[in-house]
Structure 1
């Protein structure tokens, strides 16, 4: 199950109530453990992590990690110990013994066949079909694999020790072992006499059909023999390490030839949502590793997705967050922050998130390697202009908030103070209020009669005795004018953001510096989801002028762009044509130099 790399989905610290439940589950699954053993494996005060992973074939597995070592893994509600746990408690599970050359095959993903089993003088362990068991090698009781029995011990004997004995789930030297501190098995001397159950080991294969038992280590307990047994243990462990390392080298040599086939199998075994999650995580690590520079931080999340992650997508694939389990970019980045500690995301301005910090030393990021099948996107443009093509402006909607004075007018519609509405919703509510209270003028339906509620909400004190009716348009106009002005920004891939007040436009100004040199200053780009550094890079590329970024006085975590010369014309063209910002939200376009005059 763990012969190939698995994908980490989440990594969280376990709560106290969950620890108690885990301890109860372990106690029920492994009754041989004492209370002290359980407290040692699931301590109350030390950090214990729950890591949810997807195995390479798509199986969802939960790992329980203590001191950076996975101690248990849970698959389909069944909990299993890892080799790290079994090295501390070797008698925790029923154990089948085999030879080191057989274990070499287990490390490659094979299951244990019965002809390779070596039994003690007491016979096979008592186990039911599907029961959890371990595998060790002769001369060392330290388990090197964990799995489930393919048949009961009675069926094994009745079958003449032929067929499959153990379905192997986890082995020493696999990726689950590598997730820990990668220590080698301890040397635990064998207590019982070992007997070859069926067949003799010759090289790697077991020869079936042998009738005589081969007795080993029978009856000798002298000091010289004990020394030879210890040497045999150490030799057995060393040979196991050498065989495992040799197996890994062989796998690496053949991996490149099997890569496309394996990738196809992985994709077929995963749901489309899981495949998109994996693609997002791959592109995320690729972008952090190869694209993002420290000087670019803080980096707008939308820009990071469009400019960096999209360019890291393998050929023939396409990133679509809506098809993932995250649904939104903000949720994906929060997961990367909380569960992987790869980045830190901060809301620098209301509704606009930015990546403000990257943990370059994170093990997942350091160990990431760019996939061999990745190719730079065709027809790539200069980095300074790459964002221009993919940027999508926010949809801006004007809204109106219910004030305390107007609240009685909206009570029938159950809209309280602070409720934000569109103009069409306000018109509908006012129309229903007028009709429900029969305020339409009897002879001229273009007028509405003023009742006490309308009088208090819409009329000035000087109009109380004079105004008895209002035209419909005047009624709507007065209502909207007395409501709080708000607006909504809908950024692509993000939740709508509602802000009070009018939309703050992008401000372009011209200032003079030493020797009467002109500079162009651009403010409030962040409010429209535009990163100042990207605009500055693009302008520098277009006009071949230097720029600097300054923090905006009085505005936390906002920057203005200052570029040499009067570049209003170029800034306007960039914002209007490439970023598609409506002209009414750009202030200062009239400051462009007149034709025929020196800039």
Structure 2
């Protein structure tokens, strides 16, 4: 969590009332500490601050510091002690002992493997006490009782024994040498000597050789003194160990390294750990931008929407890898483009509120001189024969139909139709006309009038109309259709139509407010029209270069809804009507679109 630099959001002093509450929370979560111990950790008069930080993994953490040394950090109301606190109370948590060479691997982000653990007792189901999965534990180095890391048990004590001490044992949360440790005074762990167990030694045997405790205990101090404080805090910390321990330590250290990456070499593991995904994404963005400016954008195509520039001009040069702005240091594409404006590559202007366009490009910029656009990428850009998932969508056709029900089936049975059949308006008119003619119901004296037989009279007459015996042709047909059940026939390609009885719910477009007064466009009922919400979400995300996600609907028995960052009603409506061929009458909420400012 703290291997990479974090960002400080706010820092405030802790009031006396907050200190009292913090002491109570510490006592509740760590009953092994006494009130006097907690008073030592959280004093009344010393300077104390609470710092809100955001880690590289976008986790919000609250760090409590006394005299500028972090003592606890809070995540979801759970307090975790730092190494500075553990050095004052080294026995407040269960401890796992390991060898000094393993310490440098833990600093790189490795988990503590069970083969690298030095047990205190003979192997038994209770060798680790009553340890449960998820319990907090500390990690020490042989020869020194001072904890060097805080972790979480990945197995219970009994499961560790049943696994024959193989596999992962502890997930390291915080370790001496990481950025949280650097947030304090960067002091070294105290040396609290302890006997160093030997490989194969009985649990009650003591190490009585010379004085190896100080040498092994001091090895961690040497490791921390070699930490490169300028640069990447995740770099390995090179340490030395006592020569008398090399044989035993090397075998256990190798077991830990093997457990972290089975089948891989140490050099490959180090290379992978040194790769920074954020730096890689930044480098990819700069390269794709340069390739797009030099080999793709034509001045005749300007101005270009910034969203289209990312999707149509930069993305093809990413070698089939997604350009994810959120995984870069810029977080937003607009910030990246603003940097390029300052460097002189492009000029931009705001076309409308929230919509930016690139108006000018400088192909003679010195930064483009050494850029060579790969031929294979250019070929891929030139060849657009492959159809995307969005392009293969077959638009649906919607037709209003009328289903024959029990009230009207007597009119249509002579035409071979039965209850439940769906007819278009023309077929309904033809069937009613044939029924009138076959039964000689048309009047000779007035061709616009129809004589009502008992069947028609029962279907179309209202109770107040009583003994009415004739009616206009159009009125008869309209009343018959009014008695039938309305439905919609949805036709996709050459397949049979899907009949949706009742009123077809339209695609609903709405604008909602989220946290920090940010707007989000909500699109409902897409699946009723045969639209894949995931494909639609990707289309919007690539076109607008904005956040777009699929979430369950807030209403029961409704399909998923699409959430789009900002007010994008106009764009979504154009895509649905022009691309997906959805009739405008089936799209509601168009009045929520942002109002266009009048040009003076």
TM-score normalised by structure 1 residue count:
0.40
TM-score normalised by structure 2 residue count:
0.40
